[in-house]
Amino acid sequence: MIEREAIYTEQDDYSEYKGNPLIEALPPILEDSDKVIDMLSYNDGHHDGERQYGSRRRMHFVLRLFRYFQPLEQHVDIEGRFSRCIRQSYLHRNPLAANYAAALAQGHKMIISGQNYEALGAFRPTAAGFTIIGLSGVGKTSAVSNILNLYPQVVLHERYNETPLVLKQVVWLKLDCPHDGSVKGLCMSFFEALDQAVGSDYFANLSHVRFTVDILMIRMAQAARLHCLGVLVIDEIQHLSQAKSGGQAKMLNFFVTLVNTVGVPVVLVGTTKAKGILQIQIGKSA
């Protein structure tokens, strides 16, 4: 878990970001590409004298290559995309605004009444996710993980400009699409990852009860609202190809729901096998 106490930086150069504690608590925007490259790079290299060690010890040093990371131009572009989508997702989700409390109240009412997640009220979405598709083994997961680690995963708020604000803001959450492509498996992976981030017990409370997928989805949306989730990253999205009948459409439609009704951008990461899944879904929606 990567967390820190909130340190607010006034957004004098970005008027739309001013007065929003979720944005002001984020690290500064990296405007210099060279700075991005420097922060993402990892090269432990070799140290003088290591060549004098025996072969068995030198084999351990070779394993540093698996941690080596040299950013490319596309990695700088992806960092910028994450920077924009996280901040844009928070534009109309200010926890000091009345609509934040109203959205939580609506979600609680839906959970109590057992409504379908599709009944979530209209939201003014400013979030926009994106998709990263590439060959297996090219370093997509490593690149995304390194970029996400530029941000604290959890920001602890207590007070903002003399206003009490007790909140655990989850800036990012990353999980793998279940191997069977099931929506329920994705929901439970979400709760497990959220528990690890904020120390909650969602997974324990939900795993022993046979909730329907729709109930899990509305609880997932409510948790994303409560913890002001900045971006949700779903890796190995190609596993949707193994989904049971209707599973692909249901899961992809729920991602759209998260963006449009909760305001959480969803970033999908996968191999080229996922391209066909996404194209089929876009064709059905056209």
Tell me how far the alpha carbon of residue 114 is from its chain's centroid.
27
Q: How many residues does the chain have?
A: 286
- In the chain, how many H helices and how many E strands? 11, 7
Q: Are 268 and 237 in contact (CB under 8 A)?
A: yes
**Topology classification of domain 3-27+72-285:** Rossmann fold (3.40.50)
Strands 154-160 and 3-5: parallel
If one compares 93 and 45, the residue with the highest pLDDT of the two is 93
Residue 282, pLDDT > 50, answer: no
Smallest CA-to-CA distance from 109 within 98, 121, 123, 95 is with 121
Confidence bin at 181 (pLDDT 50/70/90): confident
* pLDDT value at 24 more than 90: yes
Q: Rounded to whole angstroms, what are the CA distances from 61 to 44, 48, 51, 70, 142?
A: 10, 12, 10, 18, 20
Give yes or no for residue 186 having a pLDDT over 70: yes
Task: Give pLDDT tens digits for 119-172.
Answer: 665 555 566 788 898 888 778 888 999 999 999 999 999 999 989 999 999 999
Mean pLDDT of the 10-18 span: 87
3-state SS record for 2-15: CEEECCCCCCCCCH
What residue segments make up the domains of the chain, in order of their start? Answer: 3-27+72-285, 33-66
Q: What's residue 146's pLDDT?
A: 93
Report CA torsion sign: 14, 22, 91, 99.
negative
Residue 152 confidence (pLDDT): 95
Q: Cβ(268)–Cβ(239) under 8 Å?
A: no
Confidence of residue 267 (pLDDT cuts 50, 70, 90): very high
